[in-house]
Homo-oligomer: A and B are copies of this chain.
Amino acid sequence: MTTFDEGLLSPVAVGHDVLVTDAAVLDALVRAEHALITAYLDIGLLPAEVHAEITRAWGGGRDAAAIDAASLITASVAGGNPVIPLVAQLADRVPEGLRPWVHRGATSQDIVDTALMIVALAAVERLRDSLVQTVDGLHRLEDRHGRDVVVARTLTQHAVPTTLGARLDGWRQGIDRAITRTTSLAFPAQLAGAAGTRASFVEITGSADAAQALVAAYARHAGLEVPSGSWQVARWPITELGDALVQTVDALGKLASDVTTLSRTEIGELHEGAGGGSSAMPQKQNPVESTLIRSAALRAPQLGATLHLAAALAGDERPDGAWHAEWPTLRELLRLALGASAHAASLVAGLRVDAEAATRNLELTRGLVISERLALVLVPLIGRSRFDDLIASVADGAQLGDLVRAVPEAAGLDVDALLDPAGYTGVRGMPGAGEHAG
């Protein structure tokens, strides 16, 4: 078999994408077919011994080890999807008389959609573990460095003081929200037949209620939710999943973007635990995990867009291309989310804070970082014009503290306290107020 992608060009996901490989998808396709067999058993149409025989023939029904993947893949082109040759291989493995039970009443889309949901559910659970680990890591950083006063930057320029805790809060907020979103996703099975009507299952089982029971049993055996109807061309389960994955990668991308900035040689407030080396420059310690996470964050949104387009163009009862465009796109999104989240957990666990660098940066503008607060206090005393002159003098090289102490009207002020960045960090700086910043 020709292998297209072993990870050579996808370092962000290497070691983290085993749940979403072709092998995992193939397992899930077999599991979906076996869930159908078992559903027929559950509703009493398939004798237990027949079920057992098929299950044995399929190696237990949970893995695809015995499938000839290479020939399956080659054969998938003719019909445009892998289920047709899969059904042929699965049927070949059972005695001829039992073959009508294989894929009975189902359409390719039932199996592909169900398999992708099986794969996605497992991947999202793993993803969530990584996100929870990342949040735990942020809490540990908070414990150690949450009250560190650091400079806040807007449009790349020093703005006002903040705390490292407030920055961690921001990262955590995004990740918490991603956890919430991924937790509320629907992972429905699909079993609706040739055109979403379940007509074949009504025919086979004899009633709509029995067909519904079959669908419910199938979903249960696939480990998925019972669908309320067909979503063959109502693709919100796919786009909501895609959106949640992109949102997850967004949140991690924000964190990673801050890390790469804050680990710039000139800034140096943060360092990855184990920076990556360079093939040319022996001294380099690159923020590799952040870089890899960012590479995922630059790719994920456009993959999400493709899923939406496919949903909007899901014409007829099965469209001529839109459905096929979903498979590799959704899978690549899962892969990026798995890789980015694993690296985020590791990155946060190893992140080193250089508090000294943070303090040095905070002082870089000779006091101007506190000018917003100073304006609130001084402008009422000396007017905007004199205040602006004072700020301009700092831009010319003076220390703000010296200038303020020379202002007669400021005589009664505790200038040291006023200019202390730690005194102007907002709700996080107030005793007991941390919880408001949630």
Contact = CB atoms under 8 A, between A and B. Distances in A.
Contacts of A207: 430, 433
A381 to B, nearest CB: 12
Interface string A320-333: 11111101110100
- How many copies make up the complex? 4
Contacts of A312: 249-250, 253-254, 257, 294, 297-298, 300-301
A253 to B, nearest CB: 3
Contacts of A424: 199, 203
Given A11-B82, A160-B281, A320-B290, A315 B21 contact: no
Contacts of A151: 265
Interface string A279-323: 111111111101111111111111111111111111111111111
Interface in A18-77: 18, 20-23, 25-26, 69-70, 72-74, 76-77
Contact of A156 (B316, B388, B427): B316
Interface string A164-186: 00110111011001100100000
A92 interface: no
B11 A324 contact: yes
22 contacts: A8-B25, A79-B276, A105-B280, A153-B264, A153-B317, A154-B316, A163-B197, A174-B234, A197-B428, A198-B426, A198-B427, A200-B373, A203-B373, A203-B424, A209-B436, A234-B254, A250-B312, A261-B315, A283-B371, A283-B395, A290-B320, A302-B305
A152 B235 CA distance: 17
A114 interface: no
Contacts of A302: 302-303, 305-306, 309
A221 interface: no
Tell me what chain A mostly uses at the interface: helix, strand, loop, or mixed. helix
**6 A-B pairs closest in CB distance:** A294-B321, A197-B426, A253-B312, A152-B195, A208-B433, A154-B318
A137 interface: no
Contact of A152 (B309, B317, B428): B317
A375 B282 contact: yes
A2 B25 contact: no
Interface stretch (A121-129, A240-248, A402-410): A240-248
Interface in A346-394: 361, 364-365, 368, 371-373, 375-377, 379-380, 387-388, 391, 394
A170 B311 CA distance: 12
A256 interface: yes
Given A199-B425, A199-B429, A159 B279 contact: no
A166 B197 contact: yes
A304 B306 contact: no
A218 interface: no
